[in-house]
Amino acid sequence: MKLKQSKVFKAGIGYTIGNVMVKGINFLAIPIFSRLLTTEEMGLYTVFAAYEAVLFVFIGMALHSSIRSAKYEFEGKIDDFTSSIMGIYWINLIVALFISIVFNKILTKLLDLDLVTLVMLVIYSFGIAVVTLYNARISLDYEYKKYIKVSLASTIGNVGLSLILIKTIFNSSRGFGRVLGITISTVLVTVYIIYDLYKRARPTFRKKYWKFGIKYSLPIIPHGISQVLLAQFDRIMINKMIGKSEAGIYGLVGNIKLILAIISDSISEVWMTWFYEKMKNKLQVRICDKEWNTDRLADKVVTEHGDFAAYYAVNLEENGEGISSIPVTVSLMNEWGVSAEQIQADAMVADRKRGVTLMDMNEIIKSMIFGEEPENLLNEKMDMEAMENPMFCLTNKAKMNGASLLLQEDIRKQIGECLGSDYFVIPSSVHEVLILPDNGIFQVPELNAMVQEVNETQVERQEQLSDKVQFCDKKTAVMENAERREARLEKEKAEVKGGIHGRLEKAKAEIKAKEADKVPKNKSKELATAL
Which residue among 237, 257, 274 closes a domain?
274
- Which runs of E-coded beta strand occur in 31-183? none
pLDDT at 342: 86
Percent of the chain that is helix, strand, coil (3-state, to 5): 70, 10, 20
Looking at residue 87, what is its pLDDT? Answer: 92
pLDDT of residue 246: 59
- Of residues 435 and 21, more confidence is placed in 435
- Which pLDDT score is estimated for 439? 84
Among the candidates 246, 274, 302, a domain finishes at 274
Q: Of the ranges 219-228, 371-380, 425-434, which one carries the lowest mean pLDDT score?
A: 219-228
Based on the fold, state whether residues 197 and 267 are members of the same structural domain.
yes
Is residue 528 scored above 50 in pLDDT?
no
Count up the domains in the chain and report the number. Answer: 4
Q: What percent of the chain has pLDDT over 70?
A: 78
Domain stop point among 331, 353, 375: 353
Q: What is the predicted pLDDT for the residue at 92?
A: 94
DSSP 299: T
Q: Is 483 domain-assigned?
A: no
Domain match, 190 and 172 both: yes
Highest mean pLDDT, choosing among 1-10, 225-234, 316-325, 408-417: 408-417
∠ at Cα 424 (422, 430), nearest 5°?
A: 135
Statement to judge: residues 266 and 290 lie in one domain: no
What is the pLDDT, as a whole number, of residue 370? 75
pLDDT tens digits along 94-115 = 999 999 999 988 988 888 888 9
Give CA separation, 526 vs 515, 523, 529, 530, in Å: 15, 5, 5, 6
Co-location of 320 and 363 in the same domain = no
How high does pLDDT run on average in the chain?
80
Beta strands 423-426; 470-472: pairing state = antiparallel
305-340: pLDDT as tens digits: 989 999 999 998 877 667 888 999 988 888 777 888
What's the whole-model pTM score? Answer: 0.55
More confident residue, 467 or 19: 467
Q: Are residues 314 and 374 in the same domain?
A: no
Is 229 within a domain?
A: yes
Query: Angle at Cα 219 formed by Cα 214 and Cα 225, nearest 5°?
Result: 105
Binned at pLDDT 50, 70 and 90, residue 519 comes out as very low
CA angle centred on 262, ends 217 and 60, rounded to 5°: 25
User: What percentage of the chain carries pLDDT values higher than 90?
Assistant: 28
In a domain, 504, yes or no: yes
What type of residue is 436? L
Do 239 and 163 lie in one domain? The reply is: yes
| Domain encompassing residue 521 | 489-530
Q: Which residues pair with 517 in a beta bridge?
A: none
Would you state the pLDDT for residue 268?
59
User: Does the residue 375 lie in any domain?
Assistant: yes
Residue 472 included in any domain: yes
Mean pLDDT of 117-138: 91
